[in-house]
Structure 1
Amino acid sequence: MAKKKETENLAEELAKSFERWEHLREYGGSDPSYADGTNMNLVRNHIMYYKNKMVEQYGTDYEKYPEIFYREVPPKVSENYMARAGEIKDGAAQALEYYISDPNFFYLLANKDVLTEKEAKQISLHNVLGYASGLARAIKDGDLITMRRHAGRPEGYLESFAQCATRMMNIINDRKKEPEQVQGDGQLSLFQFGMETGQRR
């Protein structure tokens, strides 16, 4: 019974791997770091692994081999292959338009020099602004992996702009609420003191 279950699992996993490879070829994936070609070749390795496991188990007992075993192993593809490249480029260009016209992004850009370096790090200002500049660079360089991250979910980056802008506003507003600092050595001059006391008479 256990052997039969293991056989069914191998056949099922092999079928899933073929389906996964075809899906990546036609529609692509959502891996944030690797191209579709890299993942297709990884799935191809899985296919060969399951086939080899069947050979180990069944040997020359050909009646035990499931039909999926005889399906040809898909070809190895370029590691840089990306499905729907045209759609990704269009989506990335649209995302960049969203970014540079977003009021929160514009606010961050206009006030980035108001914050100290420590304050900028606290709200991850440089990282957040880098989303837009990084996408612009990816479009220029043809980096489809980076473009896909933005084309698929620009809303997430727009939300980051909004959150960062809110934190920046809070810092700037808190500064306005701080009491004015006494200049110099912290003591009033006799002239200043006279003016102050004179005003209270």
Structure 2
Amino acid sequence: MEKHSCRTCRNLEKERKEVMEGRLKGRYRYGCSGQGSGYVCGFLAGDEDLETLSCGLWHGQSERKTEKEAQKLEKELGESLQGLFDRWNEWYVRGCPEGKETDGVYLNRLRLAIKGLVERIEEALEESRFPESYYSPLPPEIAKDYMADRDNLVRSAERALYQYRNSPDYLWLESYMNGQKGKSKEMEKAAVFFEHGKVLEEAISRNQYLLMKQEIRQEGILAELAKYRRTVLQKEQKAARRNKSGQKGKKDMSGQFTLFEEKAS
């Protein structure tokens, strides 16, 4: 009896390989014609890890399905395929929630996943069991630079830029930097926050839609700006307390010298 794993599954497509970056650097995953993502359900450090991966869409060379199993698979594949079509239609109109790539790139990846799942259905099911979504036309290949809902994207970017530059922390930053002289580490850090506004403004003026989409997600930089403001104010408060303490010490010493001089005379 075949062990259920990605290694023995007919859905495995080793000719398609995605090498990961970032925190998953050094790992990779192969293509899968069964999964909605188009890839196997885990990341690999080596091909031997395929033995440890498996999912409910496993399709072995010698598998035999009961009627109940066939109905279950028919339902799962039909729902998965319909879900991919629905996602493609939504992203085409509204854009992909992710912003690392253009919407065109994401849509074409979905298209490949749909194509792979259609082929999976043809292999796994009898024609009489093909789900309704199987007969939907394959979405067209989209230009790589395609971005959905551009007008709304521009409005969102303009609104984000206005909100950023009128936020209390940004207004404080402008006032604070106007009072600084020369170069310092604080000024170098502050330049990062000014640069964000410049980049977003330039993206709007040049119709750089992907850059707009990336820069309007500014919750992170707003949080960093608020943290920067707190740090600067805390440093100023500590410096003020030290100065006050130093001045008090000088005053006390001055009084002691006066008393000593009076006694000496």
- Where on the TM-score scale, by shorter chain, does this alignment land: which range? 0.7 to 0.9
Question: Which residue identity does 1:133 align to in structure 2?
Answer: K
Q: Which residue does 2:62 correspond to in 1?
A: none
1:25 aligns with 2:92: yes
Q: How does 1:179-198 map to 2 (within 5 A)?
A: 179=243, 197-198=257-258
Structure 1-normalised TM-score?
Answer: 0.76
Q: How does 1:1-201 map to 2 (within 5 A)?
A: 1-58=68-125, 61-112=126-177, 113=180, 116-117=184-185, 125-151=190-216, 157-179=221-243, 197-198=257-258, 201=262
Segments of 5+ residues of structure 1 without an aligned counterpart are 183-192
Worse-superposed segment, 14-23 or 137-146: 137-146
State the distance in 1 between where 2:256 and 2:224 align. 49
Classify 1:45/1:68 alpha carbon distance in 2 versus 1 (closer, same or farther; 3 Å).
Answer: same
Partner of 1:186: none
**Matched length:** 185
CA contact (8 A) 2:100 2:214 kept: no
> Contact 2:169–2:226 at 8 Å: present in 1 too?
yes
**What value does the CA root-mean-square deviation take over the aligned residues?**
3.1
Structure with more strand by fraction: 2
More helix by share: 1
Alpha-carbon distance in structure 2 between the residues aligned to 1:167 and 1:30: 33
* Contact 1:128–1:164, Cα closer than 8 Å, also in 2: no
- 1:108-159 CA deviation, whole Å, 9 max, x = no partner? 2343447841x567xx5443333212212322332212322454x5666544
Residue identity (%): 21
Q: Measure the CA separation in 2 of the matches of 1:95 and 1:160.
A: 16
Q: Distance in 1 between matches of 2:254 and 2:232?
A: 41
Deviation at 1:12?
A: 0.9
1:2 is paired with a residue whose SS is: helix
Runs (4+) of structure 1 moved beyond 6 Å? Answer: 193-196
Q: So what's the TM-score if we normalise by structure 2?
A: 0.59
Q: Post-superposition shift, 1:49?
A: 0.8
In the aligned structure 2, how far is the partner of 1:11 from the partner of 1:155?
38
Q: Deviations along 1:45-64, whole A, 9 cap, x unmatched?
A: 11001001112223xx4212
Cα deviation digits, residues 72-95 of structure 1 (max 9, x gap)? 100000111111101111121122
